[in-house]
Amino acid sequence: MKKLVITGGNRLHGTIKISGAKNAAVAIIPAVILSDGVCLLENIPDIEDVNIIDEILCKMGASVRHINKTSLEIDPSGIKEPVATYDLVRHMRASSYLMGALLGKYLKADVALPGGCDFGVRPVDQHLKGFGILGATHCVADDMIKIKADKLVGNHIYLDVVSVGATVNVMLAAVKAEGRTTIENAAKEPHIVDLANFLNSMGADVRGAGTDVIKINGVKTLRGTTYSIIPDQIEAGTYMAAVCSAGGDVLIQNVIPKHLESITAKLREMGVTIEEFDDSVRVICNGRLKRCNVTTMPHPGFPTDMQPQIAALLTTADGMSMVNEAVWDNRFRYVDELRRMGADITVDDSLAIVRGVEVLTGTPVKATDLRAGAAMIVAALGARGTTYIEDIRHIERGYEDVVGKLSAVGADIKLIETDDSINRN
Ligand code: UD1
């Protein structure tokens, strides 16, 4: 079993370069299915989720070639059957994007119910509602969602909840539909805009991405393209939090500072100095953090994917903080792990009350999901002693070379292979 071993106490100094955005990559790679040509994708992160989606496309018949560590050339012309079985999709939530991409291209998609991070019920009712309004029907049989349409016709779709996944999936299904689709109450995340830019670079006509009304005029064909995806907002936010936990002065490069605004604002409220440049932010943190309250919201609100990391920081802030999780039902599973390190946190439904203690103490903990794992890293960097983080496969799903990036700025972090695991009895 692989573990991350982190000994806290080293201040961080230097630069960290942020990779391409996981959540943009896992939407844009399936979107290549819609193309009638070959696509070259650049700034792709070297992470497990990308490997999984590559493998899914390969097994479906596409040709996927790694030009180098961050560039992928994908030719979808070999895909014959619009079918993704459970074997293929079970590790990955974003495999649900195969539904929209396959339906948009082949008017048919048989996709097994997806896996991914477990933080409560993860419904797809809004995705299916959108497909239905475009003219598709669906049924669930043998744990597969089977969707088909004689043709897809543009229409007005109002999403009852702001959903990144439903917005992406409806965009994918609508891009080659007849006529105009309008998505109202659409998600506004940076990767929605990135997906729209990618689709437009293939010849699609998508307007308004980044606002809550997206208009899509269907086109008949989409050509191959070369496209470079945006930097990862959450990876950047995680390293910003890492510097705040350990203390230090780090330049975080290859970011879009505008995408980090809500994170930057909260860290400033906590007393951190953040300087913004064109494509980098400098984080300077000395001394104890101040308390603050955080409520997660769809973009441009504070991202739920940064909630565990900010809560980890607040465990040693001066005073009592409240963290309100307003996007997911069950995203506090990591709290037990922070308690093992000495954190004082009580959870009542969607609210966590965090009472800052002087210092956390290193101990064996688990990464209960991807961002929970990131929170363990953040906590460990500022803790007294050594933290052993298990189940790091979750972290590997979304963070490229976390050991290399943190070691380069002075963290005491290494990856080990051992046989033993945490005994919870
Ligand atoms: C995406 C991100 C994930 C992030 C989340 C919220 C990717 C690959 N993943 O997940 O990291 O945490 O956005 O920013 O981009 N909902 C419904 N019905 C639906 C769909 C969603 O009720 O059909 C609800 C969900 O239960 C949740 C909320 O809407 O409470 C937001 O979910 P959604 O934005 O769809 O999350 P994902 O796209 O799965």
Give mean pLDDT, residues 330-350. 96
Strands 273-276, 12-17: parallel, antiparallel or unpaired by DSSP? unpaired
Is 70 exceeded by the pLDDT of residue 117?
no
pLDDT band of residue 422 (cuts 50, 70, 90) is low
Is 90 exceeded by the pLDDT of residue 123?
no
Structure tokens at 209: 């991405």
**CA of 327 relative to ligand 1 center, distance in Å:** 8
Separation between Cα atoms, residue 315 and residue 345, nearest integer Å: 8
Structure tokens at 126: 């809004």
Give mean pLDDT, residues 333-362. 97
**CA of 94 relative to ligand 1 center, distance in Å:** 10
Structure tokens at 239: 């390293």
Separation between Cα atoms, residue 100 and residue 34, nearest integer Å: 10
Give the residue, 119 or 196, on which the prediction is more confident. 196
pLDDT digits (tens, 9 = 90+) for 133-179: 999 999 988 778 999 999 999 999 999 999 999 999 999 999 999 99
What is the tally of helices (H) and strands (E) in the chain? 14, 24
Question: Which atom of ligand 1 is nearest to 370's Cα?
Answer: 11
Separation between Cα atoms, residue 365 and residue 385, nearest integer Å: 13
Give mean pLDDT, residues 67-89. 90
Separation between Cα atoms, residue 278 and residue 215, nearest integer Å: 30
Structure tokens at 24: 């943009």
The residue behind tokens 């189940």 is 391
220: Cβ–Cβ under 8 A, 6 or more apart, which residues?
176
Q: How much is the pLDDT for 264?
A: 98
Q: How much is the pLDDT for 115?
A: 56
**CA of 124 relative to ligand 1 center, distance in Å:** 9
Nearest CA to ligand 1 atom 13: 164
**CA of 116 relative to ligand 1 center, distance in Å:** 12
One of 117, 244, 285, 292 is an active-site residue; which one? 117
Same fold? 2-19+231-417, 22-228: yes
Domain spans, the chain: 2-19+231-417, 22-228
Give mean pLDDT, residues 408-425. 84
For a ligand 1 pocket test, name from 122, 164, 168 the mutation site with the most ligand atoms within 8 angstroms of its C-beta: 164
Structure tokens at 65: 């070639």
Phi-psi category of residue 376: left, alpha or beta, with phi > 0 → left and psi -120 to 50 → alpha = alpha
Burial 340-359 (b: 16+ CB within 10 A, else e): bbbbebeeeebebebebeee
Tell me if 195 CB under 6 Å of ligand 1. no
**φ, ψ for residue 371 (rounded to 5)?**
-75, -25
pLDDT band of residue 2 (cuts 50, 70, 90) is very high
The domain at 2-19+231-417 falls in which architecture?
Answer: Alpha-beta prism (3.65)
Separation between Cα atoms, residue 269 and residue 185, nearest integer Å: 30
Give mean pLDDT, residues 225-253. 98
Q: How much is the pLDDT for 301?
A: 97
Nearest CA to ligand 1 atom 5: 164
Nearest residue to 417 (alpha-carbon basis) of 392, 386, 384: 392
pTM for the full predicted model: 0.96
Separation between Cα atoms, residue 154 and residue 289, nearest integer Å: 51
Tell me if 23 CB under 6 Å of ligand 1. yes
Domain 22-228 has CATH 3.90.1300.10: no
Q: How much is the pLDDT for 116?
A: 47
Nearest CA to ligand 1 atom 22: 123
**CA of 49 relative to ligand 1 center, distance in Å:** 17
The residue behind tokens 């995806």 is 229
Tell me if 25 CB under 6 Å of ligand 1. no
CA 6 to chain centre: 24
Torsion of CA 99, 327, 4, 266, to 10 degrees: 130
Is 80 exceeded by the pLDDT of residue 74?
yes
Nearest residue to 93 (alpha-carbon basis) of 122, 119, 116: 116
Strands 12-17, 248-253: parallel, antiparallel or unpaired by DSSP? parallel
Q: How much is the pLDDT for 423?
A: 64
Tell me if 122 CB under 6 Å of ligand 1. yes
Do residues 99 and 109 lie in contact, with contact meaning Cβ atoms separated by under 8 Å? yes
Upstream peptide bond of 45 is cis (omega within 30 degrees of 0): no
Nearest residue to 156 (alpha-carbon basis) of 213, 96, 204: 213
Tell me if 371 CB under 6 Å of ligand 1. no
Q: How much is the pLDDT for 140?
A: 87
139 is catalytic: no
For a ligand 1 pocket test, name from 91, 127, 163 the mutation site with the most ligand atoms within 8 angstroms of its C-beta: 163
**What separation, in Å, do the N-terminal and C-terminal C-alpha atoms of the chain show?**
19
What percent of the chain is modeled with pLDDT above 70?
Answer: 96
Nearest residue to 343 (alpha-carbon basis) of 331, 329, 357: 357
Q: How much is the pLDDT for 420?
A: 76
* Average of per-residue pLDDT values in the chain: 94
Give mean pLDDT, residues 384-388. 98
Give mean pLDDT, residues 203-216. 98
